[in-house]
Every structure is written in structure tokens, then in C-alpha cells.
Amino acid sequence: MLDPRIAAAPQSSGITVIIVGLGIAGLTTAISCHLRGHTVIGFDKLENLEPYGGLGDGVTLAPNGTRVLREFGNGTVAEWMERWALTCTNCKVFDTSGNHIGQHPIPETDRGLALVPRGKLVQTLYEVAQELGLDLRLGVKITEYYEDHEHASVVVDGTRFKGDCILFADGANSKHRKIVSTRNVELHQSGFSVYRGKVEGEVVKKDPKCHWLLSGEMEKDVAKAFSGPNMYLVLATCGSGKACFCIAMSQNTRPLENAWTTPIDKEEVLKRVRGWKLEHQIRPIIEHMSKDQLINTPLVRAGALDSWVSPTGRIALIGDAAHPFFPTSAQGASQAIEDGATVAITLQLAGKRNIKLGLNAMMELRKHRATYIQHNAWRVNDEWFRSDQEERTGDKASPTPGVMDWIIDHCCQTYAWDEFDQVRECIETGIPYHPSNLPAECYEKATNFLEQGGHGLPF
């Protein structure tokens, strides 16, 4: 049975929420807001969401994210995620000489971990939103936005749409940071990019050269990581062999455009592993990835914003627009999901007459937690790539943070309900709010980082 604090609101809140951007963050927010009794109007520049589905882009959903999504669609989303559950028990890391040097951290599989095709997740959430009757408009461009103390609005194709607030969920390349923050509004290249690819499981099963990545009767998934001088590559099956994903973090010194949807030639990846002892394992998997199933995403960084909410209090940023993550964190999607679920609750509890309180309460509940997770992942990633290869052993074999129970076991919805009154009091009195959704030492690091200007570098 659902916690009654998490169940859908029984009646309309009277609040109209405008959402710009209908990826994972935007759709999660739209559905969560609807379930809390808010009216939703959503916009996305894509004419349809099919382009998401055609790309070989896998996304990790950690338990703190799947915990929210399980409630959607009367169990249909939970069933879909279960089919894509990642059932690996371990992921060994090998160096270029073929030596086993450590383990890639994976949470216990019974806690709700999934590795899913990003496009299919977006499509699944969109279908749930459609079934709920949400007003979602695709293929449109926002030409103007406005807020005052009474309402917020956007202009689309000459028509003004009014609401109580605007949530920008338009991704890492959002142009709207300047609305809410006085610092760190510009993105900069990180010097890293990530190759992401996908091949259907049936294709892998038919090629004996790929069978090393399969396990017996496919009751368990298999994952293996490869550590090179300037690249860290993971190959993993998911959904008991439904598909195989490639995720390769790479240093990149040449300037890159924002082109995450642009496919690349597989030779660009293969030349990076040429001469590696285990090239014979990597090559056949990559060779099966068609050109529309392999992409290179240039990774950007943005320093921590001093606020996610505008001074007037009717516009806020969520997801990667507020805190872009590296894929090595394995938390980008789940942190965006936490944003969406949290803001739906804080708006409900604040009420239509206190929209500014609702948005600022969301930020207070989320900001330190998201900031620490984001920047700690950057720190681990950067230290790994700066290190000598012989140092990359044991718990330093992977450029990813270890599994932290306080991250993946967190329920953001229960937390928002339990903490709202305290957050309200802190906002109204000006007393700093000390969140308990991260350890005290992590809160202290995040606080010091934010107070020192929140530059776009790790701690």
C-alpha cells in the first residue's frame, strides 16, 4: 500500500504549472504535478518524441528514482522498469593488458536498479501522461516568458498561456539560468565526452564472438569494464539480455558542439581501443552498433547557481537545467526525478497563494543534496583521469563514486512531506535550513562550496 502522504491528491489544488521541456525531468514533473491535483501545460520543441527512441542512449535509474516512477500508470511503469532491471551481481574492471584491477560499483539488484533505453523511458512516460489527459504540446517554440506577483506566462506561436508558475526542465543547455541566478549561468566545456551505444540482445546472441557477454540461460545480466589511458568503457546487458549498452567516458581536447543526438562512426570508438589486450571482446559488440545507435555526447559543466528560483518566485529550474550531471554519477536521471516529485508536493502543501514558498521549499529540500552528488562525481571522475594507470586499482579502478546508501535508499516524497513545515519556518524566519537527506559532512562540503562561489570545478 502506498504511503498516504505519497498518494495522489483527492481534488484540484487550483494551481496551474507550465513546464518547458518534456524529457525525463519534465515528464516526471508533469505526471507528479497532475497526481498532486495541479493543472499541467507542457511544451517541447521536438515535434514528437520518437527521436529519443532511435538513439543508442542508455540511462541508469537508481532506486531513489525508480521509487517515484513505480507509482505511475497504475503499475505499468513499474512493470516496464522490471523488464529492464539490471541483474548484474558484479562488474569487473580490466586494464589494457587484460589484468583484473577492481570492481565497478553496482547496487544490490533487489533494490530497484534499472538500465533502460532513454528514448523508451521518455516514450513510456509520455504515454502515461497522455492517458491522464495532460495538455502536452510538441513541436513548439517559446518566444517569450513573463512573471509578476500574480501569475507566470509563456508565449507560444503568438498565443499567451497563463499559469501560476513556470518550471524550466530544458536540460543542460538551458538558456534560462540567468532568470534565477546571478552567477555561473554560462556553460563551459568539461574536456570530457561520453560515447553511448546500443545493440539488440538478439543480435548479440547470434554472434559467437559476443557470447562472452552472455550468461548461461540469460537469467542474469553481465557487465564488464575496460580501463584505458584516456577512456573508461563499460559493456553491459540489461533486462536479462534484451539489449547491450556501451557507455564510454573519454577525455576530449578538441572543441565539440552540442550534438548529443548526432550519430558517429563506430570507428571513432574502435580506434580508441586498438591494441588493448581485450580488444577482441570489445570490437564485435561495437561493430554490431548501427550508425543510428552510437552517439558521442560532449559533456558540459556549469557552476552551482546561487538560486534555482527567480526573485519574483514564479519561475524555477529543475533537472539538468539546474544541475547538469556526468553519466559516471549514475544519478542524473534520478536526481531530476527527485526534483519533479518534490516540487509537486511542495506546491501542493504551500497552496495557490504561496507559489513562491512552494518553489523555494523545493530548492531548499534539494539544493545541497544535488550539489554534493553532482560535484563529488566530478571530483572522482577528474581524479581518476588525472591519475597514472598503475594507480587505478581496487576502489580506484573506476571513475565512478561508490554505492552510497544515503543516496539510493532515499524517498524524496516522504522527505518532502516530513520536512515541509520546518522548511517553511526557515524560509519565513530567514534561519538556514539544514537538510537531513545527506550526511552532515556532505552538507558541510556542499555549503562551503556554495558559499565560495560554486565554480564549475569539483570540490
Q: What is the CATH number of the domain that holds 130?
A: 3.50.50.60
Q: Are 240 and 220 in contact (CB under 8 A)?
A: yes
pLDDT (mean) for 132-141? 96
Give the cell for residue 440. Answer: 552532515
Rounded Cα–Cα distance for residues 168 and 442 (Å): 27
Q: What is the pLDDT of residue 438?
A: 98
CA distances from 253 to 53, 87, 268, 377, 433 (A): 29, 36, 15, 20, 41
Q: What is the pLDDT of residue 255?
A: 56
Q: Is residue 366, in this structure, part of any structural domain at all?
A: yes
Give the cell for residue 148. Answer: 509578476
pLDDT of 94 above 90: yes
Percent of the chain as helix, strand, coil, to the nearest 5? 40, 20, 40
pLDDT of 154 above 60: yes
pLDDT of 361 above 70: yes
The whole domain housing 127 covers 16-68+116-185+305-452
pLDDT of 270 above 80: yes
Compute how many other C-beta atoms are within 10 angstroms of the C-beta atom of residue 144. Answer: 10
> Which residues, at least 6 apart from 1, have a Cβ–Cβ distance to it below 8 Å?
none
DSSP summary character for residue 291: G
pLDDT (mean) for 396-409? 92
Q: Is residue 261, in this structure, part of any structural domain at all?
A: no
Q: What is the pLDDT of residue 1?
A: 36
Q: Please tell me whether residue 209 adopts helix, strand or coil conformation.
A: helix
Q: Is residue 58, in this structure, part of any structural domain at all?
A: yes
Q: What is the pLDDT of residue 457?
A: 62
Go through 373-385 and write b for each residue having 16 or more CB atoms within 10 A of its CB, e for each that does not: bbbbbbebbbebb
Between residues 456 and 251, which one has the greater pLDDT?
251
- Pair type for strands 16-20 and 39-44: parallel
Q: How confident is the model at residue 408 (pLDDT cuts 50, 70, 90)?
A: very high
Domains in the chain, number = 1
pLDDT (mean) for 286-293? 87
Q: How confident is the model at residue 298 (pLDDT cuts 50, 70, 90)?
A: confident
pLDDT of 203 above 70: yes
Total residues belonging to the chain: 459
CA distances from 82 to 9, 56, 93, 364 (A): 26, 20, 26, 32
Question: For the chain, what is the total number of helices (H) and then of strands (E)?
Answer: 14, 17
pLDDT (mean) for 298-309? 91
pLDDT of 388 above 80: yes
pLDDT of 389 above 60: yes
What's the order of all strands across the beta sheet hosting 142-147? 142-147, 152-156, 159-163
Q: What is the pLDDT of residue 169?
A: 98
Q: Is residue 433, in this structure, part of any structural domain at all?
A: yes
With CA atoms as reference, report the closest residue to 165 among 454, 385, 358: 358
Between residues 182 and 112, which one has the greater pLDDT?
182
Winning range, highest mean pLDDT, from 191-205, 232-246, 257-271, 274-288: 274-288
Angle value at C-alpha 438, between 90 and 452, nearest 5 degrees: 115
> Where does 96-222 show beta strands of DSSP type E?
100-103, 114-117, 135-138, 142-147, 152-156, 159-163, 165-168, 188-200
Q: Is residue 194, in this structure, part of any structural domain at all?
A: no
Q: What is the pLDDT of residue 106?
A: 83
pLDDT of 433 above 70: yes
Q: How confident is the model at residue 264 (pLDDT cuts 50, 70, 90)?
A: confident
Rounded Cα–Cα distance for residues 234 and 339 (Å): 28
Compute how many other C-beta atoms are within 10 angstroms of the C-beta atom of residue 59. Answer: 23
Q: Is residue 79, in this structure, part of any structural domain at all?
A: no
* Active site positions, annotated: 196
Rounded Cα–Cα distance for residues 293 and 415 (Å): 39
Q: What is the pLDDT of residue 260?
A: 55
pLDDT (mean) for 408-437? 98
Between residues 190 and 366, which one has the greater pLDDT?
366
Q: How confident is the model at residue 375 (pLDDT cuts 50, 70, 90)?
A: very high
Give the cell for residue 22. Answer: 518534456
Between 51-55, 351-355, 420-424, the lowest mean confidence (pLDDT) is in 51-55
H helical segments located in 74-116:
76-83
Rounded Cα–Cα distance for residues 415 and 154 (Å): 32
pLDDT of 257 above 60: no
**Mean pLDDT, the chain, integer:** 90
pLDDT digits (tens, 9 = 90+) for 214-256: 876 556 889 999 999 999 999 999 888 889 999 999 997 555 5
Helix (H) or strand (E) holding 279, with range, is helix 279-287
Between 50-54, 78-82, 269-273, 288-292, the lowest mean confidence (pLDDT) is in 50-54
